[in-house]
Structure 1
Amino acid sequence: MTAQVSHLFNNIWQQYLAVTPSANEIHQLLGDGADVINDHVAYRTFNLDKVNLTKLASQLLAVGYTECGEYDFPEKKLTAKHFEHSDSTLPKVFISELRVEEFPADVQAIIHGLVKQLPDNISEQANFLYSGRTWQVSSNEYKTLLKASEYAAWLAAWGYRANHFTVSINHLNKFDEITEVNATLKKSGYHLNTAGGEIKGNLAVMLEQSSTLADNAKVEFSDKTMEIPSCFYEFAKRYPQENGELYSGFVAASADKIFESTHAA
């Protein structure tokens, strides 16, 4: 089972690197040649039947993951859950879904139009979590979505792929503190997401997070090619609970700001 999961995440990682070249550089910078343990991988989707959170999660449940937490983001109109594997060296997975019905009619129409293009069994396909964008979307539809929800626009443009991977600072050999990681990244020329501060969270909530701003990559829309924000790299430090085990959940207030790593500068 673990080999099956490793194969899945290797495919997800390679697809992610194709539009996030900075992640490979940062991986080498922080790992210094050693393997980097991923704290979690994040996905975005719509709450429509073919592709909702439950459908994405079914691929994970089939390879040994279990549901562990639920989160609400009222301002961004999102619901999210996270999943963990019994093998703690495998990444947690954070899946969020956009509550489509909470948006204006024109936005809903675009999103329904995208999902309508997908086969009914799309979520059952083995490569679904790294299938990318398999619908057609125009640059004008993208721009309409962008005005209402950056999240929706990103998903419309990029489809099903990891929105970000996350380095586990707890498992790095050269770094102990998130401040050290951030300083190293900035010294090397990377720009960090400063929404809500460079560091989201603290010891009190047992989780500290930071992230780069997304790389830019070209997207072929149905009418033209545009360069837009793609994916980003996150960094997380977890603190022990009273039982000595590292906190494994997420902090909604911090995650809310992490979403903004894909906002255009």
Structure 2
Amino acid sequence: METSINQEFEDILNALFVPYYERVPDVQKISKAMINEGMIQSQNDIVNDHIAFRTLGVSNLGIRSFEKIFLKHGYIKKDYYHFEAKKLDAFWYAPPSPKFPRIFMSELKVDHLSNKAQNIIAKYTRNIDLDPVDLLDLDNSKEIGEFFYKPLWQLPTIQDYNYLLAESEYAAWVIYNRYYLNHYTISVHNLPPTYNTIESFNSFLESIGIVLNNSGGKIKTSKDGLLKQSSTVAEMITATFADGETMKIPGSYVEFAERLPLPNANINSSYINDKDRRDGFESANADKIFESTYNEQTKKIIR
């Protein structure tokens, strides 16, 4: 039974990752360079630390809806995070098996936006009068995989997108990209010794032309010093809006995480078990990682 459940979730992850891989050229560029450098033999050798999703906090959507998919497949809801300035809440979810990535799920507090921004979001979401996840067969991996890219609301007009962009870049990202996979995360500490620190891996990334998010510094470090993260600047995609106009907007990106051993970990051997490494997330790190899709970062990419 457990083998069947594991296979179902692997199918769900594949359904998520294939379009993401095709849409985010940095994923392919980094993977190919890692293979050429001898770090890995194939993309499958990369350990995925976590994946992340963005949601809207409105009726029948948001975390309370979206999390059902993952709770059904054995994930455990963990710590809560709040981002006051960005008007966001978030939770992370521990996987049922170490072979699967953690999940980081955030939600925009729509009722904290201006009335006009709330009305714009309501224009697109008000007709969702049932929780769409409740309509899914959560045992059907194909159906769930397709759901991630299902258009739950109409494409926004460029005017509505730009208004949201001016008030909440997170809101603008979600109103266009919906439940698209926001990022996946390469587990740096699982790489060969020459590259298994965030500092050395960042140097490798920049040597192949990858632009890193430098909000709060290129390396975001937790207060305890045991979680280090960095990320690329989001890829710019050509978005076609409801009125037919097109514009370059931020898509998805790639993150990198190094989880250092806990103070009481057994480090007398060359292998350190994941349970002996720092788990969870850090709100200050995540706050700056969010900005991988923000204009202040994406303007660094030549369009």
2:24 maps to: 20
Aligned to 1:148: 167
Q: What CA deviation, in whole Å up to 9, does each residue of 1:171-201 have, x standing for no partner?
A: 2235211111111111111100000000001
Q: 1:207 to 1:73 in 2, by over 3 A?
A: same
> Given the superposition, is the C-alpha separation of residues 217 and 96 from structure 1 closer, same or farther in structure 2, using an over 3 Å criterion?
same
The one-character-per-residue Cα deviations of 1:2-44 (angstroms, maximum 9, x if unpaired) are 1111111111111212321211221232353331111000100
TM norm structure 1: 0.94
RCO higher in structure (CA 8 A, sep ≥6): 1
Secondary structure of 1:195 counterpart: coil
Of 121, 130, 138, the residue aligned with 2:157 is: 138
Distance 1:152 1:229 in 2: 12
After superposition, give the CA deviation of every residue in 1:20-69 in whole Å (9 maximum; x if it has no partner). 12112212323533311110001000111211101111100001100111
- The amino acid of 1:241's aligned partner reads L
Distance 1:148 1:57, change over 3 A: same
Q: CA deviation at 1:127?
A: 3.5
CA distance in 2, matches of 1:143, 1:91: 34
Deviations 1:196-229 (Å, cap 9, x if unpaired)?
A: 0000015824100000001111122101122211
Task: From 228, 232, 243, give the equivalent of 1:212.
Answer: 232
Aligned mates of 2:23, 2:116 — CA distance in 1: 29
Partner of 1:197: 217
Matched residue SS, 1:86: coil
Contact 2:15 2:146 in 1 (8 A): no
- Quick one: distance in 1 between partners of 2:64 and 2:9? 18
The runs of 5 or more residues in structure 2 that have no matched partner are: 137-143, 266-275
User: Which TM-score applies when normalising by structure 2?
Assistant: 0.83
**Partner residue, 1:183:** 203
Q: Percent identity?
A: 32
Q: Which letter does structure 2 place at the counterpart of 1:158?
A: N
Cα pair 2:61 2:131 within 8 Å, conserved: no
What aligned pairs does 1:72-91 form with structure 2 within 5 A after superposition?
72-91=82-101
RMSD (CA atoms): 1.7
Query: Counterpart of 1:104?
Result: 114
> Gapped runs of 5+ residues in structure 1?
none
